[in-house]
Chain A
Amino acid sequence: MLVSINWLKDYVNTQQLPPAELGEKITRSGIEVDAVIDRSHGMTNVVVGYVESCVKHPEADKLSICQVDVGEETTQIICGAPNIAEGQKVIVARPGAKLPGGMKIKKAKLRGEESNGMICSLQELGIEGKLVPKAYAEGIYVLPADSETGSDVIANFNLDDTVLELGLTPNRADAMSMLGVAYEVGAILSEEVKLPEISYQESADTAASMLTLTVDAPEANPLYVAKVIRNIKVQESPMWLQQRLMAAGVRPHNNVVDVTNYVLMEYGQPLHAFDYDLLGTGNITVRHAKEGEMITTLDDAERKLSAHQLVITNGKKPVAIAGVMGGANSEVSDATTTVVIESAYFESGSVRQTSKDHGLRSDASSRFEKGVDPNRVIPAAERAAQLLSELAGGEVLSGSVVFDKVSKDEKIVKVSPDFINSRLGMKIAFEEMLDILNRLKFTTEAVNGQLVISVPTRRQDIQIPEDIIEEIARLHGYDEIPATLPEAETTPGGLTPYQAKRRIVRNFLEGAGLLQATTYSLTSEKSAKQFALEKTETTRLLMPMSEERSILRQSLLPHLLESVTYNTARRIDSVALYETGAVFLKGNDELLNEQEHLAVAITGLWLDNSWQGEKKPVDFFVLKGIVEGLGAKLGAELTFERGQMDDLHPGRTAFVVLGGQRIGVIGQLHPSEQKARDLKTTVVMELNLAALLNLETESLVYTQVPRYPSMSRDVALVLSKFVEAATIENVIRSAGGKLLKDVRVFDLYEGDKMEEGKKSVAFSLTYFDPEKTLTDEEVTKAHDKVLAALTEVGAELRS
């Protein structure tokens, strides 16, 4: 909502406050002022000029040489506008003038001809092109013939004005009008509101003699008022009206349309003007549309109507979509002589739905859908009639054609002062409360210590005692509210074990050198299931904004890998990212099974200390080590089983298993996938983090630090290339007996010196007895059993 302060002053005394200060007061008491706009933009030296003569420039087709009377003198100005003509009153920026945007006017020579100033368009005065009347959109603006030559344009044409741009919240529909803002300002400044005085000459003939009205949808349209004005002359509106509309962000058209818009801005009540003769039937019928019925609206769009949509008809065919937009078939034009002015109360839900159906939001629909004031419907119609009789020479037929079933009762809200103070945590005196309510023009009575408040219908946002608390608090001033802390019992607060463990996981991964990433949950059909541990039916948005963000992800990896590629494409060759977040699987009920996952993607060098000769690219085992460490941290016994997954290297992929369940995967990207993503060797991992975090951990009891030394024996084995280390480790563990404490691989050789298809794996075995120092014989005895078992499974001992 754009509020011209000059216009506002018609209704309320703004106490000569500087605009910025007024804006601040409004902001602090409830309606945010987003901007304070000086309409003069600091302009100076712009006057009314009279074009005494105008001839073509001999050297330039498009330029005219004008002799312009600017009051003090007659001077020559060169003008390039196509619509310049002798006898016009025009806007002249004199030499030395400053124009919006910083342009300074100087005397100049244009193709050899002297030019002492500039004849201006409205755009050059800082008015947005879309607000400039169409007739002047491509040229200079022509002032009314009675404008005083030499007078100051800024002062005379309402450009010495400031506009407050209000950022309205949806509850404050009341402030979508100048009167509504006047009430708000009046409450803030303790000033009275002066309503427009409506009086005009009525014709002897009645409106009812020319127009009949039928309302077939009283629920959607409980109040409809029509006035008939004849013998009007459709023409340009006077300057003051045009300027007020432009200040309010509305483009002037002609006096009839401008009056309906002016009253809309003034009262917040949308009006519509029909050409009576084009209606053709002398009847208005409000009804629901017939399914499939068509109408061409004022924006020249042909629209198909549905049965739930309300239309205005001439008794035969639709002439407007109620509350949304008029029809082209009854549009007011220069030829119009008789108009029907409609002022109505359309039910908000109906307008909202219809405007949504057609994707059409107008100044009218945005007010109807928030609920207009039923007590302003009739006054607004009267106000329009008055202005049309004044500005268009119209003859207003007496009375109105009215259908009125709407309730205009004020809402009664009862609230006790104690309740108000206890909810605010402060003491506002009863008298002060009364004063505030009085300033708001809420009729208030004190009954048995209770405030009984009649809320005017313009404030439909006030329904319950809490709404009154807000009104009182905001006008009393939020700064006055003290700062306290809740007095309730203190609670321990804290994280759940799940949340605490999630932080442990993050700390662990970051300590291991990974950066936390965050990617989008919405993805494309193509990426939704890639790398998913559990593939379920995908979930698609009803109305996605793009195909790339249309499906909920089932794996974190596709987007994480996109982030890796983003970095490598910028020559960051080593990237190690992790992310935790939800994947969205089909669930048992209407909601999805949201599973919190952890994903890691690493590419490039894992170890990079090149001046010391250490440079190691990342591999499968880097990630395996991270997962093992994570398992140890969380007390989860994780095992790994060889597996395969699409787009992972078939020989370098393992599933992570917890308690017999596959909860994750580790792998190197398949070379073709790496190529597709423009990556070098990249390893990835994704885990069902929730499964890990939900694991109940046992309480930690320490094991005694060994008092006796352990002894170790190494064994090197020649194995078939396809025998896995874990198989051999299991053989060793089961043969080692209770003295065998630990088994570790310490060497692997697969080089040239090995027989084809063989490899050498060396294990280090640690023997230990918590009760005593082991003797060589005891260890040998245990170790011999291990060696025997190894030989039995075909492992060849290497000397």
Chain B
Amino acid sequence: MEAQLQELKTQALEKIASASTVKELNDVRVAYLGKKGPITDLLKGMGKLPAEERPKMGALVNVVREQVTSQLEGRMVLLEEEAINAKLQSETIDITLPGRPVKTGNSHPLTRVVEEIEDLFISMGYEVAEGPEVEKDYYNFEALNLPKGHPARDMQDSFYITEDVLLRTHTSPVQARTMEAKGGEPIKIICPGKVYRRDSDDATHSHQFTQIEGLVIGEDIRMSDLKGTLSVFAKKMFGDDREIRLRPSFFPFTEPSVEMDISCFKCGGSGCNVCKKTGWIEILGAGMVHPNVLEMAGYDSKRLTGFAFGMGPERIAMLKYGVEDIRHFYTNDVRFLSQFQRTEL
């Protein structure tokens, strides 16, 4: 019987070693250790043995049984691992296939420019003021020192709706309205919006475009404050090493009036096709608020002074992004719009 036991053990261990799948191994378990298996049979047959042999034989059977069980379990761990590995192997994907696209849109490039400017001035304590696009002649012209018949009205051929109502030609009427509403109090605003002029649309003209203007009124606001403010703007918008220069100019609503150039951000000032070989790029118009404008809005121009500036986001976007035709901003070609997705930070 002992020999029989050893024989069984040898057989079982062989079968365990040769089992190559979890299922085969389970069959081995059932075959040798199951309720109907030979080891169980041996244990059942113990009753036929003499009583003194039973403990020895019982211990022997248990040892074999444990040896077989332990071998089997060890083999089982191995086979299970192999099975998992095989499964994982079979689940391998081609990670070079494209990802599931996340739907993304983005802002219009003009919005992008306007928001950047808004945020910059908000950080300097400005509020954003808006007003109607269909405006009274009074706010668009007269309150800005442009009475009827003023030659400078020619600079801005306008779309009139009635004799006294027109599509605003600049966002300056928002300044006039804000001044009127503030009743003589200090002001710090930035005014973005759409404006309209009687121009035929071509690569550099658009009958509709956007503007963003700023207005600061307070005690002792000086022309040097205008220069300092514009300098901060130029550096934040076009790079820290930008320099600015002011050139005398004329706007009916400011006196003195200036135009601001920045040193060319493409060539740094040495001259290229962006700056037309001058090293400088014209960016905006500005000036000290004309006393007539202050007085018309009820401000004491002896006590309060101010500065104003205005620029065209189209021009800035064209310069910044190298856009060659202003009509791109209004055609809404997806191949154009979707280029303004990524950050420049």
Give chain A's interface residues, CB within 8 Å of chain B: 27-30, 32, 169-172, 348-349, 352-353, 369-370, 422-426, 464, 466-467, 469-470, 473-474, 478-479, 481-496, 499, 503, 506, 509-522, 539-545, 549, 552, 563, 566-567, 570, 572, 575-578, 581-582, 584, 590-592, 594, 608-609, 611-612, 614
Contact = CB atoms under 8 A, between A and B. Distances in A.
B246 interface: yes
A771 to B, nearest CB: 41
Contacts, number: 242
Interface string B221-256: 111110111011000000000000111111000011
A491 B188 contact: yes
Contact of B232 (A485, A576, A584): A485
Contact of B121 (A493, A544, A572): A493
Nearest to B123: A493
B161 A539 contact: yes
Interface string B193-229: 0101010100000011000000010111111110111
B224 A493 contact: no
22 contacts: A370-B151, A422-B222, A479-B245, A485-B228, A486-B216, A486-B225, A488-B221, A491-B125, A494-B127, A503-B115, A510-B106, A511-B105, A515-B334, A517-B332, A518-B329, A520-B207, A520-B208, A521-B133, A542-B159, A577-B332, A591-B165, A594-B132
B133 A542 contact: no
Contact of A567 (B200, B256, B334): B334
B105 A515 contact: yes
A516 B98 contact: no
B115 A572 contact: no
Given A425-B225, A493-B123, 16 more contacts: A169-B249, A424-B223, A478-B258, A483-B224, A485-B229, A493-B127, A496-B127, A496-B128, A510-B106, A512-B105, A513-B105, A516-B107, A520-B207, A545-B207, A611-B98, A614-B100
A522 B121 CA distance: 31
Which 5 residue pairs across A and B have the least CB separation, nearest first?
A513-B103, A425-B224, A425-B222, A169-B250, A470-B256
Most A CB within 10 A of own CB, among B101, B216, B248, B329:
B248
B122 A494 contact: yes
Nearest to A473: B256
A543 B160 contact: yes
Contacts of A469: 255-256, 288
B172 interface: no
Nearest to A171: B250
A489 B222 CA distance: 15
B337 interface: yes
Contact of B248 (A348, A470, A487): A470
B64 to A, nearest CB: 52
A773 to B, nearest CB: 38
A313 to B, nearest CB: 26
B224 A484 contact: yes
A425 B162 CA distance: 43
B223 A423 contact: yes
Most B CB within 10 A of own CB, among A353, A464, A478, A563:
A478
B115 A481 contact: no
B160 A592 contact: no
Contacts of A513: 103-105
B161 A485 contact: no
A486 B217 CA distance: 10
Contacts of A517: 108, 332, 337
Nearest to A426: B224
A226 to B, nearest CB: 28
B330 A519 contact: yes
B332 A566 contact: yes
Contact of A521 (B98, B188, B208, B291): B208
Interface string B120-142: 01111111101011111000000
Contacts of A609: 100-101
B247 A478 contact: yes
A572 B224 contact: no
Most A CB within 10 A of own CB, among B198, B219, B228:
B228
Interface in B143-159: 149, 151-152, 154-155, 159
A575 B338 CA distance: 11
Contacts of A492: 125
B306 to A, nearest CB: 9
Nearest to A568: B334
A584 B100 CA distance: 42
A594 B133 contact: yes
A642 to B, nearest CB: 28
B103 A484 contact: no
